[in-house]
Amino acid sequence: MTYYSLVFPLFFAAAVLLFWVVPPRARGVVLLAAGIWYMASWGMASLAVLAAVTVLTWVCGRGVAASHTTAYRRAFLILGLAASAGYLFARKAAPLVHPGAVLVTATGLAFYGLQAASYLADVYLGRCPAENSLLRYAVYTSFFPRVLSGPIGRAGEFFPQLEELCSGRRRCDAARLRRGLVTMLGGWAEKLVLADLLSDWVTQVYDRWAECSSPVVLAGGLLFSFSLYFDFAGYSHLALGAARVLGFDLPANFRRPFFAQSMGEFWQRWHISLSGWLRDYIYIPLGGGRRGLPRRMLNLLVVFLISGLWHGSAWNFLFWGLLHALLQIAGLLTRPLRRPLAGRGGASMVWVRRVFVTLCFGFALVFFNADSLAHGLGMLERMFAGQAGLGPLDLGVSGTELAFAAAALAVVFVLDCIAERAEARGSGLYETFLTLPGAVRAAALLVLAVTVLLFACRLVGGDAASFYYAQF
């Protein structure tokens, strides 16, 4: 049961109604039941793995808190990490070491596995107390808005909100509900309108790249970055909106990454929850940037190779991670040369830097979406070979659909510019939206809702693609 399935609105409406109708103390039970139901819709094996990770890491967290010696605390920590992040990375690495090796997997493990690991680390480091209630901890790991594809949460952010909701101190708020529903509507638009339209065309380019002309392969390779962005940002906004309707505030996972002016800034804007997890639990414990430039470069290499492995069990994902590590290291080495140029050139140089970062990300991402290293290298070679071949309208997507996608991209670009300026003033896009006249707001939401419904009709024929990150 995906966010865009026809049954999800019914499930979500029932869960929200029950959550706000039952006595506050029973809200945790409702959330747990909804999480179990949602995960069971993906298969009983997925539910069983989630249950096993939940129980094992809860027991280990209690063990860490109750142990009086460092040896026992470390033993419980290592056991818990092995049951969550350790097993996850072992499953990812096994096919690289032994092709064909398959370990038991489950949908969403890449996200709730890291979430459980961060809880254990925070308990061990004294950043948060161990959770005494298995039910409350199970709500944390199985919270259905984010259990499949994040954002990756932290216990210190989640449990205080759960306590407020279950004690009745945080009540149903009409403004919060409206904002949550608008956020969900925007997420559906990003997925069904932009991500799927672009994906239909980009997938054909990747499948038939050897037949396509060089400009088409180049456009397809670069447009995959936008397809992936709207797919994952769409899911993240749906998760944030659904959580907000239930009274929770989840951390943002994207902040207009294509407006970044350096690769370092890019990773502060793209998949923020994963970037923050890798920074706090891998990069900083390795020493971060505190032990000199060579050690910092090595730490960056380790972090991005882990990121590549987290994304996929294939050498092309590791190569993608390596490319990003090299881009980060190049940024560090050239920083003394670039610092005197900061602030010069005005707005034109700002956009030059933004375009450069976007192109770097897009070219590296060719290996992310390729079937193999050879596939990615072949596409890159054809991009610049000046070859003739299939044109943009020869790949099963009509000119009308491509024109609509281009218009939608233009609208999003304008909205992102508005959001960027609003953030500089300490505000946001939604707050700017609220300043518009009521009739304008209603008309904009109506147009957006009708567009989403029209594109949702494709679901009847089963044409909508699954969320890309659900495979991780």
- What pLDDT score was predicted for residue 269? 95
Number of residues assigned to the chain: 472
- What pLDDT score was predicted for residue 2? 77
- What pLDDT score was predicted for residue 399? 87
CB contact at 8 A, 156 and 123? no
pLDDT band at residue 202 using 50, 70 and 90 as cut-offs = very high
- What pLDDT score was predicted for residue 280? 95
- What pLDDT score was predicted for residue 89? 81
Residues contacting 472, CB < 8 A, separation 6+ = 110, 111, 149, 310, 311, 312
Residue percentage of the chain with pLDDT more than 90? 71
Rounded to whole angstroms, the Cα distance separating 99 from 257 reads 35
pLDDT at 459 over 70: no
- What pLDDT score was predicted for residue 457? 77
396-421 pLDDT tens trace: 888 888 898 899 999 999 999 999 99
- What pLDDT score was predicted for residue 96? 76
Q: What is the mean pLDDT of the chain?
A: 90
pLDDT at 190 over 70: yes
| First-residue to last-residue Cα distance in the chain | 16
- Tokens representing 421 are 């300026």
129-182 pLDDT tens trace: 999 999 999 999 999 999 988 899 999 999 999 999 999 998 988 999 999 999
pLDDT at 244 over 60: yes
- Tokens representing 103 are 């370990």
Rounded to whole angstroms, the Cα distance separating 30 from 128 reads 25
pLDDT at 472 over 60: no
pLDDT at 424 over 50: yes
pLDDT at 53 over 80: yes
pLDDT at 1 over 50: yes
Please state the rounded mean pLDDT for residues 242-254: 94
Please state the rounded mean pLDDT for residues 9-20: 95
Rounded to whole angstroms, the Cα distance separating 368 from 372 reads 9
| Residue keyed to tokens 């061990």 | 124
104-122 pLDDT tens trace: 667 888 899 999 999 999 9
Instruction: Tell me if the bond preceding 151 is cis, omega within 30° of 0.
Output: yes
Rounded to whole angstroms, the Cα distance separating 116 from 152 reads 10
Residues contacting 351, CB < 8 A, separation 6+ = none
Q: Is 191 exposed, middle or buried (CB count within 10 Å of its CB: 0-12, 13-18, 19+)?
A: buried
Minimum mean pLDDT among 60-69, 86-95, 365-374: which range?
A: 86-95
Residues contacting 398, CB < 8 A, separation 6+ = none
Q: Is 49 exposed, middle or buried (CB count within 10 Å of its CB: 0-12, 13-18, 19+)?
A: buried
pLDDT at 323 over 70: yes
- What pLDDT score was predicted for residue 463? 46
- What pLDDT score was predicted for residue 471? 59
DSSP per-residue string spanning 217-260: HHHHHHHHHHHHHHHHHHHHHHHHHHHHHTT--PPPS-S-GGG-
- What pLDDT score was predicted for residue 439? 94
